[in-house]
Amino acid sequence: MADSTLVSMRGITKTFPGVLANSDVNFEAKKGEIHALLGENGAGKSTLMNILTGLYRPDEGEIWIKGEKVVFRSPKEAIAAGIGMVHQHFRLVQPFTVAENLILGSPRPGRILNMKQVEKEITSISKKFGLEVDPRAKIWQLSVGEQQRVEIIKMLYRGADILILDEPTAVLTPQEVKELFKTLRMMADEGRAVIIITHKLHEVMAVADRVTVLRGGKYIGTVNKKETTKQELTKMMVGREIELSSNQDDYNPGEDVLILENINALNDKGYPALKNVNLTVKEGEILGIAGVAGNGQRELAEVVTGLREIQSGTLKINSKQYCNCSPLEIIDAGVAHIPEDRLGMGLVPSLGAVENIMLKEYRKKEMNKGLFLNHKLLKKKTGELIEEFGVKTASIDSPVKLMSGGNLQRLLIAREISCQPKFIVASYPVRGLDVGAIEAVHRILLEQRKAGAAILLISEDLEEIFALADRIAVLYEGEVMGVIRTSETTVEEIGLMMAGSREGEKVS
C-alpha cells in the first residue's frame, strides 16, 4: 500500500433488516486529495461513511487507516484515529459559545479549562484556513454557513486528518460554497484527505480530484476528475447504457389536466426546492420527470397532491384552481398518488390489506352502512382487487408489511387505480421491484394512459422514462431545464440537461 493512502475500505457489506445498504464496496482516500463520494439518495453513501466514522459496524469487509487495519467499536475510536465528520445536521449546542462547543467531548483541554488558550487556538485555525468566526459568539447567533465553519474548526481542533463532509453545500449560498471549496482545498494541500458526500455533479467537477460512484449500495467505480465528464458520471450514477424502446405511436393528447404556473416551494429544511416550475400534463399522456434524485422531484409530487405548501404560483387541475388545498380536496378532484415511500406513506404497514385498500374510499357513502363501515363490502372489494392485480398475500388480514415490495406496489396501485383517477402522480413506481413486477406496473400505467388519464411519472431510470413517457421534463436543482417530446430527443441530450444545462445549450 502506498504511503499516501489514508483510508482504505475493502469489500464493505452492510445489511439492515430487509435492505442491503452496502454490498462489497471499496473506497480509498489519499493524502492531499479531495475525494467526492457520488451517488443518488439511497445509494449507500451515508451508510459507508457512517461505517468509517464508527457509527455502524460493517457485516463484512476491512477498514485500513494509515496502513493499519482497524475495527471501530464506537465513534470515539474513529475520532481518535483522526476521522472527523461534518454531518448534514450540525451537532452543536445552541446556547453554548463556539469555544465551549469545541471542547465538548474533547479530551484536549484537560481538567482545568483555560478558555483563553482555546480561543487563541480557534483564532489561529480560523485565520489559517479562512474560517472566520468569533470564538465567543453563541451558536444560535450564527448563520448556517458560520455554524458549518464551527463544525469544520471542531474537526481540525481535534486533529482530524481525514475529513468527511456530508452534503456540505446543501445549506450554503453560492458565495459561501466558493469559500468552502477554497478552505477544503487548503486543508487537502496540508496533507489531509477530504471526502465530500454529494449528489451534485457540478460540485464534483468544481472541487474534487477523484470521484467514487455508488449506485443502489454497490460500488460502481472510482475515476479521476480530469479523465471524466459530467455525462460519464451521470451514466455511472443513474445506470447502465440505455436502450431506447419508445412506444409512442398513438400519441393523441387531449385537454390539459394538470397545469403548474410559476410554482415555488420549499423543502423540509426551508430552502427553495422548486423554482418557477411551469408544467402541463394532458389527458392521455405520460409526462416523465427526469433528473438526478434530490433535485425537487419529491417536492413536485407533494405539491401536486396537496401535501406540500405552495409559496407562490398556481396549480390547476381540470382548469380549477387548487392552490394550497387540503390533500382531501385534491383526492376528490380525481388525483391518484403512487408515492415514493410505499410503506411510510402509501400504505399502513401494520394493518391488513382491507384496511389499506379502504384508505381513500372509506368516506364514500356506498362503503358505509349508516354510521358503520360496511366491512363485508370492503372485504369483497379488496378480494376482487387482489385478484385483478395479482397481489399475493397470505391472508387479507395479515399486516401488509409482510408482503414483498412487488406485492405492496401492486396493492397500492390497485387502490389508486380503482378510484378511476383523471390524473396520476407516480413517484419511482418500480424502485426496488423485480422484473415481473416492473412489467406489471408499466403495463398498468400504459393502460391508464390509453384510458385517458394524465400521468406524471417521476423516475431516476432514463430507460423507464424513454419507454413510457410521451414528453420528458428535466428537473435540475428545482428548475425545469426543458420539456421535450420523447421522440425528438436522445439520452445524451437529457443527460446534459440532468447535469444542469438548459434545453438546446451545450455544456462546457
Partner 1 sequence: MSVPQIAKKEQGFRVTLEKRGTTPYLIHFLVPVSSVVAALLVGAIFLKATGHSPLEIYAMMFNGAFGSMYGISETIVKAIPLMLTGLGVSIAFRMLLWNIGAEGQLYMGAFAASWVALFAPDMPGYIMLPLMFIAGFLGGALWGLLPAIPRAFLGVNETITTLMLNYVAILWVDYLVYGPWKDPKGFNFPLTAPFRDSASLPTFGNSRVHLGLLFALAAVVIVYVLLKHTRWGYEIRIIGESQNAARYAGMNIGKNILLVMLLSGGLAGLAGMAEVSGITHRLQHGISSGYGYTAIIIAWLSKLNPWAIIIVSFLFGGLLVGGFSIQTSGLPSATVFMLQGLILFFVLGGEILTRYRIKLQRGRK
How far is residue 288's CA from residue 309's CA, in Å, rounded to a whole number? Answer: 23
Choose among 89, 65, 183: nearest CA to 130. 183
How far is residue 101's CA from residue 314's CA, in Å, rounded to a whole number? Answer: 45
How far is residue 268's CA from residue 91's CA, in Å, rounded to a whole number? Answer: 18
Nearest CB to partner 1, comparing residues 182 and 363: 363
Nearest CB to partner 1, comparing residues 230 and 337: 337
Nearest CB to partner 1, comparing residues 281 and 331: 331
Shortest distance (Å) from residue 299 CB to partner 1: 15
Nearest CB to partner 1, comparing residues 288 and 346: 346
Phi, psi of 85 (to 5 degrees): -130, 135
Contact set with partner 1 (CB under 8 A):
15, 17, 58-60, 62, 71, 305, 307, 326-332, 337, 339, 341, 344-351, 355, 358-360, 362-363, 368, 371-373, 375, 399, 402
Judge whether 23 and 13 are in contact, CB under 8 Å.
yes
Shortest distance (Å) from residue 376 CB to partner 1: 12
Per the listing, cell 465528520 goes with 85
Nearest CB to partner 1, comparing residues 184 and 347: 347
Shortest distance (Å) from residue 52 CB to partner 1: 15
- Coil vs helix vs strand at 394: coil
One-letter amino acid for residue 131 of the chain: L
Shortest distance (Å) from residue 158 CB to partner 1: 26
> What is the chain's alpha carbon radius of gyration, rounded to the nearest angstrom?
25
Shortest distance (Å) from residue 473 CB to partner 1: 24
Nearest CB to partner 1, comparing residues 74 and 124: 74
Judge whether 6 and 162 are in contact, CB under 8 Å.
yes
Nearest CB to partner 1, comparing residues 59 and 463: 59
- Coil vs helix vs strand at 8: strand
Phi, psi of 429 (to 5 degrees): -65, -15
Nearest CB to partner 1, comparing residues 274 and 336: 336
Neighbours of 384 (CB within 10 A): 13
Nearest CB to partner 1, comparing residues 323 and 373: 373
Please list, in sequence order, all residues whose beta carbon lies within 8 angstroms of the beta carbon of residue 450, skipping any fewer than 6 positions away: 250, 284
The grid cell for 431 is 424502485
Shortest distance (Å) from residue 357 CB to partner 1: 12
Judge whether 134 and 52 are in contact, CB under 8 Å.
no
Judge whether 280 and 260 are in contact, CB under 8 Å.
yes
Per the listing, cell 474560517 goes with 131
How far is residue 387's CA from residue 328's CA, in Å, rounded to a whole number? Answer: 28
Shortest distance (Å) from residue 282 CB to partner 1: 25
Phi, psi of 199 (to 5 degrees): -125, 15
Phi, psi of 91 (to 5 degrees): -110, 70
Nearest CB to partner 1, comparing residues 355 and 461: 355
How far is residue 393's CA from residue 397's CA, in Å, rounded to a whole number? Answer: 9
Nearest CB to partner 1, comparing residues 51 and 201: 51
Nearest CB to partner 1, comparing residues 26 and 228: 26
Query: Among the residues of 210-304, which ranges form H helices?
Result: 230-238, 297-304
Shortest distance (Å) from residue 160 CB to partner 1: 24
Per the listing, cell 391472508 goes with 395
Question: How far apart, in Å, are the Cα atoms of 52 and each of 36, 56, 59, 79, 207?
Answer: 15, 8, 13, 10, 22
One-letter amino acid for residue 43 of the chain: A
Q: 166 pairs with which residues across the strands?
A: 197
